[in-house]
Structure 1
Amino acid sequence: MIAPALPDADLRDLNTLHLPARAARLQPVDDATDLPSLTEALLQRGERILVLGGGSNIVFAADFPGTVLQMRTRGIELLAHDGCTVRVAVAVGENWHDWVGHALDQGWYGLENLALIPGTVGAAPVQNIGAYGVELVDRLERVEAWDMQDRRWLDLTVADCAMSYRDSVFKRRLAGRAIITRVVFRLSTRPEVRADYADLQRELAACGVTSPTPRDVFDAVCAVRRAKLPDPAVIGNAGSFFRNPVLPADEAARLLAAHPDAPHYPATDGAVKFAAAWFIDRCGWKGTRRGDAGVHDRQALVLVNHGQATADQLLKLAADIQASVRERFGVDIEPEPLIVG
């Protein structure tokens, strides 16, 4: 049975920045098979539709004058056990961190580096989430979705998802039309540890761990993230507010000639990825506060709402940060969250 829609719904507690916003209607979705009839009815009425998961990667810059679909579907299904790998389908409403912990408990390895990333499973393919040397695309098999425009179910392979750094087909060709319903993962039953990032190495060394297990990596990732990043339940934030810029080889060489200490990492096709937090920090923004909008004092990538910040205040702060980085380093940094309104 489809849950009733809530009119004039308050969205403040449904976005982790806790920005004030309302939706004309909030429609909970507990069963993905309801999507065809639900979306068809909304589109026939000329409704605008916004899909919302955990609200951890969104900025409500204004009220939403349509229907917000709140994806609350649950379920984890083991599809196959193929020797040293498993294939597992996870409903989009599952909490991401809880799913990572569950997989680890089952002896399904490969997601440990992505622990404690806020949000739901459904948001993970949109952003191609990544942390500490692992990206979702490395563990993904396929994505199931409902296409509102073509009125058909989609079963997308990794290639179909066209994933790159913090990008996918869901932010491009399928943006605003595909509603992800399940994500299928391919994980290993044999421990595959990736712990070569400096922060993880320091945390593991501090714990006296010399031969880390997947559980050790999971615990280290959680400890590092808790030390550096604010809890959205305590102080409003959307995680990393800016993407790390990826520069072509020639531009990267010029930047490194002028700033050889800039942290950087190899990317695809000879490009170079730089740490946006380093640029922001060098421009003096870490710990800045304007009213209740601010920059976190331990991680310059994170913009925070100290209580009563408005979207206008937060976005003005973000724009000023972008302008200062561009002026000093000649580098454009782009916001990572979806800005609505």
Structure 2
Amino acid sequence: MHEILTDYPLDDCNSFGFRARSRLVVRVRSEDDLKSALADPGLANLPRRLIGGGSNIVLSSDFDGVTLLMRIAGRRLVEAHADHWIVEAAAGETWHDFVRWTLEEGYPGLENLALIPGTVGASPVQNIGAYGIELADRFDSLRAFDTTSGSFVTFGREDCAFAYRDSVFKHRPGRYVVTSVRFRLPRPWQPVLTYPDIAATFRDAASVTPEAVFDEIVAVRSRKLPDPARIGNAGSFFQNPIVPAEQHGRLKADHPALGGYPQADGRMKLSAAWLIEQSGFKGTRLGHVGVYDRHALILVNHGGGSAAEIVALATRIKDGVKAKFGVQLVEEPVFL
């Protein structure tokens, strides 16, 4: 049976470290907790929201409703086949800890996604990705509670409608609560070394190990990205924009240093960090918040900051990039 906590501080439940409280909180430690909380008549008429690791949200104010904190734990090998493993993790598991566990247990394939903050349950919602791999590339299925039908449902890969930092769950907020995710990890393992700063480390792909890739990804991300425990942040704040090839060509003519990553549909993905830095925002401060001085894609809370300051800074950055390059940036975090 679920436990209801009152006037609960959420400062430690969001990686920006913004001060906020929730009128009521339920720590969801099992599917039964989830079902009973959603069926509780005392909570039925209150606004409701779900928070996992809090690493991809911007909390704007106190919440006069019930916050569900996803805390379901568990991870296991489901099936072992000649050409793949199926592994499963509960939604409340910390993503990085799960990735490390898969390697310790001998099920590689997620190492390029090491050190991404957040929980397993949030990973398919955002279709997280880094260094040449997206979650969709390793996804098998997930189990979720449908708040409309009041029953559990299973989503296969096609059901999720994965796209760049997108899924069906982002377009139906609040309807589905992910409780566990399964991953299909191919065997024999092959390293993914498509990113230059990773490939440069491994000259001989035949001798690369999953653990070595994991360690290098952790090292690279640690050099570039601030630890939320020291400097409040939500990781990459803007999506890398994808533009038509013709627009990329025009921009390249005006800005020869502009890079680009070809997409399957012929469009080009640009580096949001490069656009922001070239627009003069790297290291900028606005009140208590700013743009990280080592990576222009990260907005940080230097201490005492607020959602209002982050919104103001993000707006200034979007306007500046739009004016200089004609490209519209889109935020990654969810504003609550």
For Structure 1 versus Structure 2, the TM-score category normalised by the shorter chain is over 0.9
Q: Which runs of 5+ in 2 are unaligned?
A: none
Q: 1:133: which partner in 2?
A: 132
Preserved CA contact (<8 Å) 1:204 1:210: no
Matching of residues 45-64 of structure 1 within 5 Å: 45-64=44-63
Code of the aligned partner of 2:108: Y
Q: SS in structure 2 opposite 1:26?
A: strand
Q: 2:69: which partner in 1?
A: 70
Q: 1:89: which partner in 2?
A: 88
Q: Which of these residues, 281, 289, 308, is aligned with residue 304 of structure 2?
A: 308
The CA deviation at 1:43 is 8.4
Q: 1:220 to 1:169 in 2, by over 3 A?
A: same
Code of the aligned partner of 2:321: V
The CA deviation at 1:339 is 0.6
Preserved CA contact (<8 Å) 2:43 2:66: no
Preserved CA contact (<8 Å) 2:26 2:37: no
Matching of residues 22-171 of structure 1 within 5 Å: 22-41=21-40, 45-171=44-170
The CA deviation at 1:136 is 0.2
The CA deviation at 1:299 is 0.5
Preserved CA contact (<8 Å) 2:21 2:62: yes
Q: 1:48 to 1:92 in 2, by over 3 A?
A: same
Q: 1:185: which partner in 2?
A: 183
Preserved CA contact (<8 Å) 1:78 1:86: yes
Q: Which runs of 5+ in 1 are unaligned?
A: none
Q: TM-score, normalised by structure 2?
A: 0.96
Percent identity (aligned):
46
Code of the aligned partner of 2:97: D
Query: Does the alignment pair 1:263 with 2:262?
Result: no
Q: 1:334 to 1:43 in 2, by over 3 A?
A: farther
Query: Does the alignment pair 1:175 with 2:173?
Result: yes
> Quick one: distance in 2 between partners of 1:136 and 1:43?
37
> Quick one: distance in 2 between partners of 1:150 and 1:220?
44
RMSD: 1.6
Q: Which of these residues, 213, 223, 226, is aligned with residue 227 of structure 1?
A: 223
Preserved CA contact (<8 Å) 2:191 2:205: no
Code of the aligned partner of 2:184: R
The CA deviation at 1:195 is 1.4
Q: 2:276: which partner in 1?
A: 280
Preserved CA contact (<8 Å) 1:17 1:305: yes
Cα deviation digits, residues 259-312 of structure 1 (max 9, x gap): 232121012311111000000000111111122201101100000001111111
The CA deviation at 1:256 is 2.1
Q: SS in structure 1 opposite 2:144?
A: strand
Q: Which of these residues, 248, 258, 281, is aligned with residue 252 of structure 1?
A: 248
After superposing the two structures, state which structure 1 stretch, 249-258 or 8-17, moved more: 249-258
The CA deviation at 1:218 is 0.5
> Quick one: distance in 1 between partners of 2:130 and 2:42?
37
Preserved CA contact (<8 Å) 1:107 1:189: no
Q: TM-score, normalised by structure 1?
A: 0.95
Preserved CA contact (<8 Å) 1:242 1:336: yes
> Quick one: distance in 2 between partners of 1:169 and 1:161?
5
Cα deviation digits, residues 100-150 of structure 1 (max 9, x gap): 011011111110100000111011001000000000000000111001112
Q: 1:337: which partner in 2?
A: 333
Q: How many residues align?
A: 336
Cα deviation digits, residues 149-178 of structure 1 (max 9, x gap): 121211000000000000000101x31110
Q: 1:212: which partner in 2?
A: 208
> Quick one: distance in 1 between partners of 2:312 and 2:42?
34
> Quick one: distance in 1 between partners of 2:35 and 2:93?
21
Preserved CA contact (<8 Å) 1:36 1:148: no
